Structure 1
Amino acid sequence: MGNNINVRYLTKDDIKNIVEIEELCFPTPWTKGAFEKELKNKLARYIVIEKDTNIVAYGGIWLIIDEGHITNIAVHPNYRGLGFGNEIVSALINECIKNNIVSMTLEVRKSNIMAQNLYKKHGFKIAGIRPSYYTDTQEDALIMWKDINKGV
């Protein structure tokens, strides 16, 4: 990934850049208001990666009791294939470990093989299907889970 990389928590000042990435990555992007609401959500943690002061990737997770639910992960299209997706997933796993979370879950589009492979690389396994989960296309979501080993 090179130098000048900073992994940190999302701030209010980052939201404009996050929304731009959302709009480039998703058919139904989250809004500015949705991210502002997430910043106030005591269960939510959002992490960004900056390269040379530009936000290139982000990810969010809800920490609910002892489970982490990944809400979204996105890498700016110009920075894909450089390891930023791996960095975000690793940062979210580390956030769960810091908060004594024992398992993580997420939903991913059935057609999004690249994301599925990223999650599998980090130990997530397909555990079920949510039929017609994505309201924009009626596409099914795969439910993936990961157990977190405290000793690792």
Structure 2
Amino acid sequence: MGLDDVQVSYMTLEDIDDVMIVEKLSFTIPWSKNALIEEVLNNRMAIYITAKIKGKAIGYAGMWKIFDEGHITNIAVHPEYRENGVGSRLVEKLVSIAKEQGIVKMTLEVRKSNAAAQSLYFKYGFREQGCRKGYYSDNGEDAIIMWKENV
């Protein structure tokens, strides 16, 4: 697989089944299918994108636009496609969309133990700005709060 084979586009309802596979393989407490459908269809603040190969979603990312801020809700890549630049393509696209929509800063929470994700976010200008103690309900792990200024 080369990155040229990966197409990044806005998520549609047709992508949900593939996205649910990625979601379940990526998170100990995955979002429900109904929650994702609700985000795509009815949440006017939500922006969701997918990374696809040959029409099959292998990764996705979501962001809520709240006034002039973007809050990244999820970024996940199917385990078979990790460490190939797919996560980078998703972050790049979210930042590009943020610029287009007048978002001036972006934020996210990431597990304290997830060094790979933190490294990805640092690469795109996110910086650690705080901690949410016991944020993750599955194991009580802390979340690092990261911000990107001047999108």
Q: Using structure 2 for the length normalisation, give the TM-score.
A: 0.96
**Secondary structure at 2:59's aligned position in 1?**
strand
- Counterpart of 1:129, as a letter, is C
Contact 1:43 / 1:64 at 8 angstroms: preserved in 2? yes
Counterpart in the other structure of 2:90: 88
User: Where do residues 12-31 of structure 1 align in structure 2 (5 Å cutoff)?
Assistant: 12-31=13-32
Contact 2:3 / 2:86 at 8 angstroms: preserved in 1? no
Output one character per residue of 1:60-108: Cα deviation in whole Å (capped at 9) or x when no partner. Answer: 0000001000000000000011100000000000110010000000000
Q: Using structure 1 for the length normalisation, give the TM-score.
A: 0.95
Q: CA deviation at 1:3?
A: 3.4
Contact 2:8 / 2:51 at 8 angstroms: preserved in 1? yes
**Secondary structure at 1:28's aligned position in 2?**
coil
Q: Structure 1 regions of 5+ residues with no counterpart?
A: none
Is 1:9 aligned with 2:10?
yes
Q: Which has the higher strand share?
A: 1
Counterpart in the other structure of 2:112: 110
Contact 1:97 / 1:148 at 8 angstroms: preserved in 2? no
Equivalent residue pairs, number: 149
Output one character per residue of 1:13-70: Cα deviation in whole Å (capped at 9) or x when no partner. Answer: 1111111101001111111011011011000000101112221111000000010000
Counterpart in the other structure of 2:47: 45
| Runs of 4+ in structure 1 over 3 Å off | none
- CA–CA distance in 1 between the matches of 2:4 and 2:112? 35
Counterpart in the other structure of 1:35: 36
C-alpha RMSD of matched pairs (Å):
0.9
**Secondary structure at 1:18's aligned position in 2?**
helix
Counterpart in the other structure of 2:65: 63
What is the identity percentage for the equivalent residue pairs of Structure 1 and Structure 2? Answer: 46
Q: CA deviation at 1:5?
A: 2.5
Q: CA deviation at 1:2?
A: 4.0
Instruction: Choose 110-119 or 52-61, whichever is displaced more.
Output: 52-61
Contact 2:128 / 2:144 at 8 angstroms: preserved in 1? yes
Contact 2:6 / 2:86 at 8 angstroms: preserved in 1? no
